[in-house]
């Protein structure tokens, strides 16, 4: 896709890699070993792919010394081929163009402070006293509320909405349709309905955070919802008011985290997990996909709850039994007593 070109000498220098092969060979993209053309780079980080090395048409392969002997073409030898692939991927990305400065159709409050190196796309709106840092990119249709701050080099894709007083750090990426700072779901019950608790806190997002598309992060009721540095969050994730997510944690798609839950640092939460409110989850906890997390934990661990998929006929029969589990357990207990009585009886007869 990208029209950017680098030769292997440049790539080796960029990656700190040892180059074996033609330093002038030109690369304009990345592909997997099976499909890469001579103008493309490939990489290998698992032994199961070594079978593709002899026949790949890739212009060069990123690999660790472990695989170096198995490939005779151009190679970039590194310690961690997957990390090197990640780094080199940045060179060939071709996002939509967004010129520095504000598009004439952008509506920017007079009191907003916008760094001259920022790029503000068509139809963006920047509210009163908002602060847009250096090298920030706001793609078209982004809405920034009053007093919000966007840290330097942060990139917001089209139609992201940032509510009032939200703070976003540096080097963040937020994808389209994501909403940061909507009201937490707070209401006092009254006869026949609900009295709204206006949400007076904000959202504070650290540096180097990436958030996918159509995700919602609510502002705090009192105090803030907090997302630590280096957190990564996928699409369609719901983060409720006053949640705290520790540094470096990863949250996959379709996860929901209820109000005032605290997730530790270095956690991984797989897709479609639901985390209960007002619980605390220890650093380095890991949750399998679809887990319903009802209680917190104090030690790192790996947790799951999803029941196994089954053929629908078998599932129907087993589901009926699931509703009888406590009864089944009682029947086992009863059987054990009866057996024991019989065994005791026999023993007394035998003695």
Per CB under 8 A, contacts with its own copies among 290-309 are 290-295, 301-309
Considering the candidates 198, 241, 278, 286, report the single residue annotated as catalytic.
241
Report the nearest approach of its own copies to the CB of residue 48 (Å).
Answer: 12
Q: Which residue bears the tokens 């947790």?
A: 303
- CB-based contacts of 212, cutoff 8 Å, min separation 6: 175, 178, 233, 234, 235, 236, 237, 253
Residues within window 5-64 making contact with its own copies, judged by CB under 8 A: 29-32, 35
Report the nearest approach of its own copies to the CB of residue 271 (Å).
Answer: 5
Residues within window 66-95 making contact with its own copies, judged by CB under 8 A: 80, 82-83, 85-87, 89-90, 92-95
* 165 HSE (CA, 13 A, CB side): 13
Backbone φ, ψ for residue 287 (5° rounding): -125, 130
The token duo for 10 is: 């440049």
DSSP 221: S
Length of the chain in residues, anyone? 351
Task: Determine how many CB atoms are found less than 10 A away from the CB of residue 303.
Answer: 14
Told to check if 113 binds its own copies by CB under 8 A, we report no
The smaller minimum CB distance to its own copies, of residues 23 and 317, is found at: 317
Told to check if 235 binds its own copies by CB under 8 A, we report yes
Select the span of 8-16, 55-63, 67-75, 270-278 touching its own copies (CB under 8 A): 270-278
Select the span of 6-14, 19-27, 64-72, 117-125 touching its own copies (CB under 8 A): 117-125
Q: Which of 113, 115, 250, 283 binds its own copies (CB under 8 A)?
A: 250
DSSP 97: P
Report the nearest approach of its own copies to the CB of residue 7 (Å).
Answer: 19
Told to check if 321 binds its own copies by CB under 8 A, we report yes
Told to check if 107 binds its own copies by CB under 8 A, we report yes
Maximal C-alpha separation, the chain: 102
Measure the CA–CA gap between 251 and 253, rounded to whole angstroms. 7
Q: Which of 44, 125, 203, 269 binds its own copies (CB under 8 A)?
A: 125
Told to check if 216 binds its own copies by CB under 8 A, we report yes
Q: Which of 56, 208, 225, 262 binds its own copies (CB under 8 A)?
A: 208
The smaller minimum CB distance to its own copies, of residues 23 and 327, is found at: 327
The SS3 of residue 270 is coil
Q: Which of 59, 77, 83 has the alpha carbon at shortest distance from 20?
A: 77
Report the nearest approach of its own copies to the CB of residue 70 (Å).
Answer: 21
Told to check if 110 binds its own copies by CB under 8 A, we report no
Told to check if 192 binds its own copies by CB under 8 A, we report yes
In DSSP terms, 225 is beta-bridged to 203
Report the nearest approach of its own copies to the CB of residue 4 (Å).
Answer: 11
The SS3 of residue 177 is coil
Number of chain positions touching its own copies (CB under 8 A): 145
Measure the CA–CA gap between 35 and 39, rounded to whole angstroms. 11
Cα angle for residues 68, 69, 74 (degrees, 5° grid): 55
Q: Is 278 a catalytic residue?
A: no
User: Catalytic residues, which ones?
Assistant: 241
């Amino acid at each position: 896709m990208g029209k950017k070109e680098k030769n292997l000498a440049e790539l080796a220098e960029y990656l700190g890699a040892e180059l074996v092969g033609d330093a002038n060979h030109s690369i304009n993209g990345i592909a997997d070993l099976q499909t890469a053309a001579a103008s493309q780079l490939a990489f290998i980080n698992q032994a199961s792919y070594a079978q593709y090395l002899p026949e790949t048409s890739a212009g060069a392969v990123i690999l660790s010394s472990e695989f170096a002997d198995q490939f005779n073409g151009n190679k970039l030898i590194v310690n961690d081929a997957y990390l090197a692939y990640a780094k080199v991927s940045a060179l060939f990305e071709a996002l939509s163009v967004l010129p520095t400065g504000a598009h004439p159709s952008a509506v920017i409050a007079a009191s907003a402070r916008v760094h001259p190196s920022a790029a503000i796309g068509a139809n963006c709106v920047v509210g009163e006293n908002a602060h847009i840092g250096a090298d920030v990119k706001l793609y078209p249709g982004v809405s920034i509320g009053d007093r919000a701050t966007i840290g330097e080099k942060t990139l917001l894709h089209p139609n992201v909405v940032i509510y009032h007083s939200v703070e976003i750090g540096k080097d963040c990426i937020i994808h389209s349709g994501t909403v940061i700072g909507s009201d937490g779901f707070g209401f006092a019950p009254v006869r026949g309905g609900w009295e709204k608790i206006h949400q007076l806190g904000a959202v504070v997002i650290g540096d180097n955070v990436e958030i996918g598309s159509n995700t919602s992060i609510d502002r705090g009721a009192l105090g803030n919802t907090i997302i630590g540095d280096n957190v990564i969050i996928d699409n369609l994730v719901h983060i409720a008011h006053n949640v705290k997510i520790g540094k470096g944690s990863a949250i996959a798609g379709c996860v929901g985290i209820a109000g005032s839950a605290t997730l530790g640092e270095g956690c991984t939460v797989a897709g479609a997990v639901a985390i209960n409110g007002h619980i605390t989850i220890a650093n380095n906890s890991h949750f399998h996909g679809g887990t319903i997390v009802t209680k917190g934990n104090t030690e790192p661990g790996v947790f799951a709850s999803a029941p196994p998929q089954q053929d629908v006929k078998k599932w129907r029969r087993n589901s009926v039994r699931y509703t009888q589990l406590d009864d089944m357990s009682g029947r086992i207990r009863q059987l054990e007593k009866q057996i024991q009585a019989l065994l005791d009886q026999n023993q007394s007869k035998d003695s």
